[in-house]
Amino acid sequence: MVSQGAYFPQKNSPFVFIIPLNEEAKKYALVLTKDLRHHKIPCEIDLNAKKIQKSLQLATKLQANNALIIGDDEMNNKKAQFKDLNSREQNEINFDNIKIFIRNKYYNLKEQKA
């Protein structure tokens, strides 16, 4: 099809790759993913996540900018680990502030690129 001139749009790399590590985290992550996509923030979710390292490797392969890790401790403390995959900087973010934090990071990055 390529030789016939068919156009295949390139898929944008995700701004955030969400890694839920248990069933409760998956439910939360699905709602969060829906909200981020509603705000036009490219994100992916690893619903098969078992080990953080494997999921981070997948995030790197997809060229994600950031990873959001939600495990047992994070669900209990209502905080998630937000990791910048370029600088390796990691922040702990309250669930109440996650959406705003990610939106601000995304729109600041877009402004810098413009």
pLDDT in tens, 13-56: 999 999 999 999 999 999 999 999 999 999 999 999 999 999 99
* Residue whose C-alpha is closest to residue 17's, from 40, 46, 38, 37: 46
> Would you give the DSSP letter of residue 40?
T
pLDDT tens for residues 57-73? 999 999 999 999 999 99
- Per domain, the residue ranges of the chain are 12-113
12-113: which CATH architecture?
3-Layer(aba) Sandwich (3.40)
Q: Which residue type is seen at 68?
A: L
